[in-house]
Amino acid sequence: MCTHTPKCPSAISPDREAAQVVAAHPEQGWSLLCNALVLFDDTGELLPDGQIITPHRPLAAVTA
């Protein structure tokens, strides 16, 4: 799906979120990347095969 040079990382590679955005829908909270990954604003992901990656946003520092 990627026609960029150099090629974007595949949807199964660890750096998959570095692929370029081909469709952005910030009003709905998601973007489609050129590797067919759907990236959500909460950092969750939907892989092309339907696998779900749960949000992995860093937790805020806990203070006492």
Listing DSSP states for 2-50 in one string gives ---SSPPPPTTSTTGGGSPEEEEETTTTEEEETTS-EEETTS-EE-TTS
Question: Domain for residue 62, yes or no?
Answer: no
pLDDT in tens, 10-56: 999 999 999 999 999 999 999 999 999 999 999 999 999 999 999 98
Specify if 64 maps to a domain.
no
User: Within a 13 Å sphere around the CA of 29, how many CA atoms are in the beta-carbon half?
Assistant: 8
* Model pLDDT for residues 14-25, shown as the tens digit of each residue: 999 999 999 999
Domain count, the chain: 1
Report the alpha-carbon distance of residue 8 to residue 34 in Å, rounded. 7
Q: How far apart are CA 52 and CA 61, in angstroms?
A: 26
pTM of the predicted model, to two decimals? Answer: 0.81
Q: Does 61 reside within a domain?
A: no
